[in-house]
């Protein structure tokens, strides 16, 4: 019988990416019920990822994986950071606010951070990793792929925004991709029989 892993996110963009990283594993992925909402009271991405994975796992009595991620902008002293989701009421509104706050600031340096945590059915944390992708904030959006802040996050090495990349390219360079590169070999060795 396949082991069940609950994907503890309500963000459809994230969900698609997480499902894609996990397709080759012998796991049955389940969605978290919408009504199960976890308050993100942690002070770091890792704390929030652990909190979400742990609480969803314990509530459902199943293994769970959670992602806490966000954008840190140097000229805004790391904002929006762990508050990236709460920075506005829609992806468009969050991007507008970010561009407004940055204005004509010359320092456009930023980085995306992604913390992933996997919890056992009793809520204890079995694995956690973090991935970082450096980049710059453009003055206006470019590209139609991806989600969230992707259209304004430019990766100089690829000379593209995340939203201009194919899902495969974003997967190989992104913060989430880097977190999963470290996580997947460990996940394969994990004893889901606990």
- Per the annotation, binding residues for Mg(2+) are 39, 68
C-alpha 97/C-alpha 83 separation (Å) is 13
Q: Determine the Cα–Cα distance for residues 18 and 5; give it in Å rounded to an integer.
A: 12
Q: Is 68 noted as a catalytic residue in this protein?
A: yes
**The tokens 């769970």 sit on which residue?**
64
Q: Which stretch binds ligand ITT (CB under 6 A): 102-110, 120-128, 145-153, 181-189?
A: 145-153
Q: What are phi and psi of 29, to 5 degrees?
A: -85, 135
Q: Binding mask 1-30 vs ligand ITT (x if CB under 6 A, - otherwise)?
A: --------xxx--x----------------
The annotation places the binding site for substrate at 9-14, 69, 147-150, 170, 175-176
* 174 scored as a contact of ligand ITT (CB under 6 A): yes
Considering CB under 6 A, how many residues would be counted as binding ligand ITT? 19
| Minimum CB distance to ligand ITT, residue 103 (Å) | 21
Q: Whose CB is nearest to ligand ITT? A: 148
Q: What is the contact surface with ligand ITT in residues (CB under 6 A)?
A: 9-11, 14, 40, 67-70, 84-85, 146-150, 162, 174, 176
């Amino acid at each position: 019988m396949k082991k069940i892993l609950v994907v503890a996110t309500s963000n459809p963009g994230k969900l698609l990416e997480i499902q894609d990283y996990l397709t080759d594993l012998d796991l049955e992925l389940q969605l978290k019920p919408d009504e199960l909402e976890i308050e993100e009271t942690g002070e770091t991405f890792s704390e929030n990822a652990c909190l979400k994975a742990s609480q969803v796992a314990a509530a459902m009595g199943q293994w769970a994986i959670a992602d806490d991620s966000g954008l840190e902008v140097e000229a805004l002293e790391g904002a929006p950071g762990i508050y990236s989701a709460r920075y506005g009421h829609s992806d468009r509104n969050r991007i507008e606010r970010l561009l407004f706050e940055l204005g004509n600031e010359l320092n456009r340096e930023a980085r995306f951070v992604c913390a992933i945590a996997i919890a056992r059915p009793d809520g204890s944390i079995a694995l956690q990793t973090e991935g970082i992708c450096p980049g710059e904030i453009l003055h206006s959006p470019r590209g139609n792929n991806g989600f969230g802040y992707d259209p304004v996050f430019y990766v100089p090495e690829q000379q593209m925004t995340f939203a201009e990349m194919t899902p495969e390219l974003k997967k190989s360079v992104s913060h989430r991709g880097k977190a999963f590169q470290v996580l997947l070999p460990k996940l394969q060795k994990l004893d889901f029989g606990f």
